[in-house]
Amino acid sequence: MNRAKSEQQTSRRSSLWAVEILFLLGTLLSAQSVEVVGPEGAALLPLETRAIGGVTYCSATALRALLDGQRTPFRAQYRYTAPTGSVSLRVLGPQTEATLRMRIGSRSAELLGGGTVELAAPPLVREGEVWFPIQLLSELLPQLMGFSATYEVANDRLLLDWTQAVPPLVQLPEEAEPLPIPPRLELPFRSIPPAPARWVNLRPVLDPGHGGGDPGVQGNGLIEKELTLALARQIASIGTAMGVRCVLTRNGDQERTLQERLEAIERSNGTVLLSLHFNRSPSPSESGYRVVVPTLPPRGGRQIVPPAGIEATGGRDPFLESQRLAELIAQSLSEAGFVGKVLRLPVALLHRSPVPAVHVELGYLSNAQEAQYWSDSRTVQRAAEALWAALARYLPSGEGR
């Protein structure tokens, strides 16, 4: 009896050793390094990488060692909170700085002050070390920080060049001028454009950002998820009064994943997407709206597939259509007395939307004065009228103006 038990324990230990040996062999075989070359062929630190699930990852420690502010003009800081699986990566450079907030196992990353971006693969933890997809360094950070990068997969080499002037997507907050006082809120913004014939094929999808356990930005007594829902409902109310059906990706305090939002867009048979958000900044003076369009056309040159019942108009380019809609939104918000600008950012929802899509950050809740404006329901009403006016003006290219 004891002999049989001893043999079982020995067999179990042998199996565990075999598993550990196989794991170590797999680690050794998958571990490698990528040569990193700076301007004029200058050799930088090699980047420790690992193939995980067919994706090349670099370790957070190696990334921080590479971007140490000495070998390159960039400095990286990261923090990993194991109990929650949250990772914060901050990169500082000569032109700007960017902070990404990520979660282990999720491809979505929050860009502080700029919405949600999508990674090629999720951050992972192996043996207590955080690993990022190398795309973070080869594609995303160059766009955000304003430098060029080329990843030569066949040669295991990454070329970085920060000497050429590349405008960063993330701009450092400037000393903001005092926020202008909006027009008299008791007066109507403007009449809705009297062209109902334009609206026959208009079916807006309104995406109130955040919800449920994800409150979004909070500041000066306001919560982003509540403001975005109130604004979306107000826009939908105006649309309904005009005989246009608007679809909301959420109509209550529910949390929606990126995939669930995309599925809601597909089911809606909508023709255009408006994603509503509010912003925050380390600078309490930062203010104004930000109308965000995608940085590049969707990969593979995907074109809009007109919803059922809509006559095809020659395969319109969703990137150009999104740009047109963004310009109309910025124009309409400005006419209503709001101040802001149009930005290009790699926002995940915009890149994957099957219809022209715009992400709007209506204001900074970290700015006490701006938050005070948004605590007034009349400001929400005015913004809803301005956004509806932009939607009512919009017609896809190729349709009669």
For 121-138, write each residue's pLDDT tens digit. 899 999 889 999 998 998
Please, how many CA atoms are within 13 Å of residue 346, restricted to the half-sphere of its CB? Answer: 24
Residue span of the structural domain in which 82 resides: 34-161
What CATH number does residue 354 fall under? 3.40.630.40
Render pLDDT for 63-103 as a digit per residue (tens, 0 to 9): 999 998 788 999 999 899 988 888 999 898 887 888 888 88
Indicate the range of 16-30, 160-174, 318-332 predicted with least confidence: 16-30
Q: How confident is the model at residue 223 (pLDDT cuts 50, 70, 90)?
A: very high
Amino acid 211 reads G
**161, 182, 211: which is the final residue of a domain?**
161
Q: In terms of pLDDT, which residue wins out, 23 or 257?
A: 257
**Long-range Cβ contacts of 260-264 (<8 Å, 24+ apart):** 261/207, 261/349, 262/349, 262/352, 262/353, 262/354, 264/205
What local confidence, expressed as pLDDT, does residue 176 receive?
46
185 belongs to a structural domain = no
Question: Which residue, among 315, 309, 400, has the nearest Cα to 354 in the 3D structure?
Answer: 315
Do residues 232 and 378 share a domain?
Answer: yes
Q: What is the largest CA-CA distance in the chain?
A: 92
Could you give the C-alpha distances from 67 to 4, 100, 123, 146, in angstroms and in order?
A: 57, 15, 18, 14
Does 264 share its domain with 384?
A: yes
Task: Give the pLDDT of residue 359.
Answer: 93
Do 132 and 203 fall into the same domain? no
CATH code of the domain covering residue 111: 3.30.457.10
Contact assessment for residue 85 and residue 102, using Cβ atoms and an 8 Å cutoff: no
Does residue 210 sit in the same domain as residue 117?
A: no
Q: Would you say residue 188 lies in a domain?
A: no
Q: Please tell me which of 18-27, 49-58, 68-77, 336-345 the model is most confident about, judged by mean pLDDT.
A: 49-58
Q: Provide the pLDDT for residue 24.
A: 44
Ordered alpha helix ranges (H), 243-367 = 258-268, 318-335, 348-352
Domain C-terminal end among 144, 161, 178: 161
367 and 251 share a domain?
Answer: yes
| Percentage with pLDDT > 70 across the chain | 76
Are 114 and 245 contained in the same domain? no
Q: Is residue 24 part of a domain?
A: no
Q: What is the mean pLDDT of residues 40-48?
A: 88
Q: Is 148 domain-assigned?
A: yes
Is residue 213 domain-shared with residue 108, that is, in the same domain? no
Please name the residues in contact with 72: beta carbons below 8 A apart, sequence gap of 6 or more.
Answer: 38, 44, 66, 160, 162
Residue 23 forms part of a structural domain: no
- Number of C-alpha atoms within 13 angstroms, CB side, residue 67? 26
| 399 and 202 Cβ atoms separated by less than 8 Å | no
Q: Do 92 and 202 sit in the same domain of this protein?
A: no
Q: Rounded to whole angstroms, how far apart are CA atoms 319 and 285?
A: 32
Model pTM score: 0.67
Per-residue confidence (pLDDT) for residue 192, from 0 to 100: 53
Of 231, 215, 401, 218, whose CA–CA distance to 324 is shortest? 401
On whether the CB atoms of residues 322 and 357 are closer than 8 A, the answer is yes
Number of domains in the chain: 2
Are 215 and 360 members of one domain?
yes
Same domain, 142 and 215: no
List, for residues 266-288, the tens digit of each pLDDT value: 999 899 999 999 988 877 888 89
186 is a domain residue: no
Give Cα 335 to chain centroid, integer Å.
Answer: 27
The confidence band for 217, taking pLDDT boundaries of 50, 70 and 90, is: confident
Are residues 106 and 255 located together in one domain of the fold?
A: no
Please tell me whether residues 112 and 205 are part of one structural domain.
Answer: no
pLDDT band per the 50, 70, 90 thresholds, residue 45: confident
The CB density around residue 69, as the number of other CB atoms within 10 Å, is 11
Is 201 inside a domain boundary? yes
The reply to whether 335 falls in a domain is yes
